[in-house]
Amino acid sequence: MEQETKLALGKILGEIYRLQRAQGILQVPEEKVFGLLNGFEETLNGELAGLDFISEAEVEIVADYFDPYWKYKKGLEELPNQKSIELELERLGVRKGNFGTILKYLYANNRFTEEIDKLAGNFKLNDYDI
């Protein structure tokens, strides 16, 4: 990520966090807010390192995997365990660690909810996910 983009995002996040602190919504440490607002590289890198891009292609790979179950061409009892699916999808191009995030995205969009519930046991999104 370019330095100017990092600085802009840091300042925006810093302002959001500062406002949330003032309202008692989120308790972000003062040093993090200060670091973001004032462009400290260590703080910026720490906060922005978790940002990841998930491509449409990766989402489609996962959707294509679940499609036969959704269309009842395969029964849900045939659905392999989560680890097996994750390994297969990784082989097909879904980056390691993105599978769970893509499941949450699909679930939040009411796609493949039965299949995801079967796979993850009554899957639920929590407040942190939204």
- Residues 99, 100, 102, 105, Cα dihedral to 10°: 170
DSSP 12: H
**What value does the mean pLDDT of the chain take?**
89
- Quote the percentage of the chain above a pLDDT of 90: 62
Specify the pLDDT at position 13: 94
pLDDT of residue 14: 95
How confident is the model at residue 105, as a pLDDT? Answer: 92
Chain-centre distance for alpha carbon 115:
19
Q: How many angstroms separate the CA atoms of 7 and 2, rounded?
A: 9
DSSP 56-99: HHHHHHHHHHHHHHHTTSS-GGGPPPHHHHHHHHHHHTPPTTHH
Q: What is the chain's percent helix, strand, coil content, to nearest 5?
A: 65, 0, 35
Instruction: Judge whether 83 and 127 are in contact, CB under 8 Å.
Output: no
Q: At what angle do helices 113-120 and 82-92 cross, to 10 degrees?
A: 120
Domain ranges of the chain: 3-48, 56-120
pLDDT attached to residue 57: 97
Kindly report the pTM of this predicted structure. 0.69
Q: Which two tokens stand for residue 104?
A: 């949450």
